[in-house]
Amino acid sequence: MRTFLFLSTMFLLVTSLVVVISFPSCTKEGPPGKAGEDGIDGESGTATCAVCHDDSQVNTAITRHWEKSKHASGSAYLRNSSNCAGCHTSQGYRELLETGSTTTFATISNPNPPNCYTCHQIHQQYTLDDWDLTNVASFDLRITGDHVDHGKGNLCASCHQPRRPSPMPVIGGSDITIDNFRWGPHYGSPGALAAGKGGYEIGSGYTNSAHVSMIDNSCVTCHMPENYNEQAGGHMFNLSYGGPASPDVLTSSCTGCHTNETTLQLLMDSAKLDINTLLADLNGELKTIGILSATDQPVSGTWTANQAGALLNHQLVKYDGSNGVHNYPYIKTLLENSIAAIQ
């Protein structure tokens, strides 16, 4: 009996050892650490993780700020068809970086909004290099083919740029037939106007703001200053806050050049009044002609190149949303010349 119990116990121990050896832990570990010397343990396999995943809580704060951005809170990422996904989804943007195409191979399943993995090289090097941007290359504007370079802002402007309407009006060219209410530059015009490009440049007098040549990294420099509470700046990206009843603008990225805060505010107020007045005047002229509907949509029909070009300029400035701040002299001249061309 004792022999039987001994053999049974040994059988169970051997079986358990085989199971342990045959089925290693399902927990995924990092790269193996350096071998120990003289009995001292080697470096932890997760040591590189702690370079970013430390106890500073910075990652948590940045994530919280991003969650308040329109990238995170808006629903545009649901536009995941092959024609739209390259800018509206994270997966689509990364795919186009790899392929150099303007459309994704197919509709993106389970689309994500722009997030950390869209803009940063997350979990590639497992060092601080993982925070490097995924795309800083200069690029050609879709609407005109002009080559532009916003530095680190290329990451933003490569999506925040207008598309090319079809057909595209040409100065002195033939009439334009518009056959749908979506004709125009779409919504993202800052990347073009901030470079002094993209407009239907009828007439003369076009110049650019110092913002075009004097601000390194363009979008990133201006739209990502140190965050103001959880209302603006940083990874929230917005500069306007407070809402229509109490609007305000975060100007900390401006004060390096505009050192007088009072003068800066007066300058912004003046630019906003000028641009919004001209935009309203152009809006009225376009509606009088009939090319713009009461709800500000293009109206189907055949129009002169100047009429279609004026409509294009109206939509570019409307969807720029900067009230002229991005490039005041260029935007103002676009509007003034458009009004003069269709009156």
| pLDDT tens for each residue of 317-340 | 999 999 999 999 999 999 999 999
For residue 244, what pLDDT is reported? 82
Burial class of residue 151 in the structure, from the number of CB atoms within 10 Å of its CB (0-12 exposed, 13-18 middle, 19+ buried): middle
Helix axes 328-342, 261-289, angle to 10 degrees: 20
Contact in structure between 194 and 150 (CB atoms under 8 Å):
yes
Tell me the torsion sign for CA atoms 162, 139, 209, 171. negative
For residue 188, what pLDDT is reported? 87
- pLDDT < 50 positions in the chain: 4-7, 12-14, 17-28
How far, in Å, CA of 339 to CA of 334, rounded?
A: 9
Which two tokens mark 241?
Answer: 């806050």
Residue from 230, 223, 145 nearest 190 by CA: 223
Q: Which residues pair with 302 in a beta bridge?
A: 177
For residue 276, what pLDDT is reported? 97
Strands of the chain, DSSP E: 139-140, 147-148, 176-178, 240-241, 248-249, 301-303
For residue 247, what pLDDT is reported? 85
Q: Which residues of 286-325 are buried (b: 16+ CB within 10 A; e: fewer)?
A: beebebbeeeeebbeeebbbbbbbbbbbbbbbbbbebbbb
Q: Which residues of 270-282 are buried (b: 16+ CB within 10 A; e: fewer)?
A: ebbebbeebbeeb
For residue 296, what pLDDT is reported? 95
Which residue has 């809580």 as its token pair? Answer: 57
Residue from 215, 200, 193 nearest 331 by CA: 193
Amino acid found at 109:
S
Cα angle, residue 34 at apex, residues 28 and 36 outer, rounded to 5°: 115
- DSSP label at residue 164: P
Task: State the pTM of this model.
Answer: 0.85
42: left (phi over 0), alpha (psi -120 to 50) or beta: beta
